[in-house]
Amino acid sequence: MNVQYENREGCLRVFLSGELGHHEAISLMARLSALVEDHLPARMVLDLSGLEFMDSSGIAVVVQTARKCQSCGGTLTVAGTPPQAQKVLTCAGIHRLVDIR
């Protein structure tokens, strides 16, 4: 799991690449949480276009990151979602809670 980000005009864009399962989820959640606290973005975009695989661990990562953004007064958008990750998020109904593209 590789995490890269850029912060431009209050929008924090985070790019994830590799595989996201339980093994990667705990450290990724901590990393994303720290990024939100450091940058306090009005808008955060979690770009999943580089993900090769995601299981239900990704659901917890998205939901927790969305809550973290909201608690800091911002919003989260998930972008570039590959079909496999989309299917997992849709199965859990996360598209009704978080803006997923």
Partner 1 sequence: MKLLKKDRINQMTLRFPSRSANEGFARSAAAAFIAQLDPTVEQVYDIKTAVSEAVTNAIVHGYRDTLGTITLTVRLYAPATVEIIIADKGCGIENISQAREPMFTTGGAERSGMGFTIMESFMDGLAVRSRPGKGTTVILQKALQARREV
- List residues binding partner 1 (CB under 8 A): 19, 21-23, 25-26, 29, 53, 55-57, 59-61, 63-64, 83-84, 87-88, 91-92
**Closest approach of Cβ 1 to partner 1, in Å?**
10
Q: Cβ closer to partner 1: 10 or 21?
A: 21
Q: Cβ closer to partner 1: 14 or 51?
A: 51
Tell me the C-alpha to C-alpha distance, in Å, between residue 21 and each of 7, 8, 28, 72: 26, 29, 10, 26
N residues, the chain: 101
- 69: Cβ–Cβ under 8 A, 6 or more apart, which residues? 36, 41, 44, 75, 76
Q: Cβ closer to partner 1: 61 or 69?
A: 61
